[in-house]
Amino acid sequence: MENPLVDILYTQNWDSSTKFSIKVTKPLHSEVTPYQRIDFFDSETYGRFFTLDGLMMVTQKDEFAYHDMITHVPMATNPDIKRVLIIGGGDGGTSREICRYKHIESVDLVEIDERVMQLCQEYLPQTAGHIAKEPRLHLHFEDGLNYVKNKPDASFDLILVDSTDPIGSGEGLFTTEFYRQCFRVLSDDGILINQHESPYYQFHVKEMRKAHRKIKDVFPIVRVYQYNIATYPSGHWLFGFASKKYDPVRDHQVERWEAFGLKTMYYNSQIHEGAFALPTFVNEMLAGTDPNTLPIFPHKDYVE
Amino acid sequence: MENPLVDILYTQNWDSSTKFSIKVTKPLHSEVTPYQRIDFFDSETYGRFFTLDGLMMVTQKDEFAYHDMITHVPMATNPDIKRVLIIGGGDGGTSREICRYKHIESVDLVEIDERVMQLCQEYLPQTAGHIAKEPRLHLHFEDGLNYVKNKPDASFDLILVDSTDPIGSGEGLFTTEFYRQCFRVLSDDGILINQHESPYYQFHVKEMRKAHRKIKDVFPIVRVYQYNIATYPSGHWLFGFASKKYDPVRDHQVERWEAFGLKTMYYNSQIHEGAFALPTFVNEMLAGTDPNTLPIFPHKDYVE
Q: How far apart are CA A219 and CA A214, in angstroms?
A: 9
DSSP output for B257-280: HHHT----SS--HHHHHHTT---H
Q: Is residue A114 part of a domain?
A: yes
Q: How far apart are CA A222 and CA A205, in angstroms?
A: 17
**Domain ranges, residue A34:** 9-59
Q: Is residue B42 part of a domain?
A: yes
A75-122 residue pLDDT tens? 999 999 999 999 999 999 999 999 999 999 999 999 999 999 999 999
Catalytic residue among A62, A113, A157, A162: A162
Model ipTM value: 0.94
Which residues of B are catalytically annotated?
Answer: 162
Question: Is residue B46 domain-shared with residue B185, that is, in the same domain?
Answer: no
Nearest to B108 by CA among B64, B152, B159: B159
Question: Is residue A21 domain-shared with residue A125, that is, in the same domain?
Answer: no
pLDDT one digit per residue (tens) for chain B, 304 residues? 578 899 999 999 999 999 999 999 999 999 999 999 999 999 999 999 999 999 999 999 999 999 999 999 999 999 999 999 999 999 999 999 999 999 999 999 999 999 999 999 999 999 999 999 999 999 999 999 999 999 999 999 999 999 887 777 677 888 999 999 999 999 999 999 999 999 999 889 989 999 999 999 999 999 999 999 999 999 999 999 999 999 999 999 999 999 999 999 999 999 999 999 999 999 999 987 555 445 544 444 433 3
For chain B, say whether A289 makes contact (Cβ under 8 Å).
no
Report the CATH number at residue B131.
3.40.50.150
- Number of domain units in chain A: 2
> What pLDDT is recorded for position B217?
95
> What pLDDT is recorded for position A237?
98
For chain A, say whether B6 makes contact (Cβ under 8 Å).
no
Question: Is residue A38 domain-shared with residue A160, that is, in the same domain?
Answer: no
Question: Is residue B118 domain-shared with residue B180, that is, in the same domain?
Answer: yes
Which residues in B142-154 are b (16+ Cβ under 10 Å) and which e? ebbbebbeeeeee
Q: How many CB pairs under 8 A join A and B?
A: 180
Question: Is residue B35 domain-shared with residue B107, that is, in the same domain?
Answer: no
For chain B, say whether A136 makes contact (Cβ under 8 Å).
no
> What pLDDT is recorded for position A150?
97
Neighbours of B80 (CB within 10 A): 10
Q: Phi and psi dihedrals of B223, rounded to 5?
A: -130, 160
Element at A256 (helix H, strand E): helix A254-259
Question: Is residue B158 domain-shared with residue B203, that is, in the same domain?
Answer: yes
Question: Is residue B171 domain-shared with residue B28, that is, in the same domain?
Answer: no
